[in-house]
Amino acid sequence: MKHFILLCALFFVAAFPMSGQEQKDDAPKPQLVLDHLSHDFGTLAKGSNKQTHIFTATNKGDAPLVITRTKNSCRCITITTPKRPIAPGASAPITVTFNPTEKGVFNKGVELHTNHPASNLTIFVNGVVSD
């Protein structure tokens, strides 16, 4: 009988956590917002100079924003992100550089991963590389 009572007590404690142990969803979170999500480089000559575009990243959240990693779809793209966290309400540049080495139409994506997964974004650059 003691085991039964103990088992019931353990079930009750597990089923109904104490309010001090509940996780709160209102914890401060960063939020990445960009001034725009794509850029058209237009028509570029193959082998011409690298083209650069700056996106402005703003932290609309209430905790510091860190861009933890980037992933791009092509070696023809390089990306420069802020080295320091972006404070709530602050902005910082994200620079995307395209090197026109291959002829043809391009539409490339760059994933931005942050310290808050719901705030991850993908930006796109596109255009045409001609002879």
| Segment 12-32 mean pLDDT | 64
Long-range contacts of 88-93 (CB under 8 A, 24+ apart): 88/30, 88/59, 88/60, 88/61, 88/62, 88/63, 88/64, 89/58, 89/59, 89/60, 90/58, 90/59, 91/56, 91/57, 91/58, 91/59, 92/56, 92/57, 93/54, 93/55, 93/56, 93/57
Using the predicted structure, report yes or no on whether residue 25 has a pLDDT greater than 90.
no
pLDDT digit string, tens, across residues 92-109: 999 999 999 999 999 999
pLDDT (tens digit, 9 = 90+) per residue, 33-50?
999 999 999 999 999 999
Q: How confident is the model at residue 5 (pLDDT cuts 50, 70, 90)?
A: low
Confidence of residue 19 (pLDDT cuts 50, 70, 90): very low
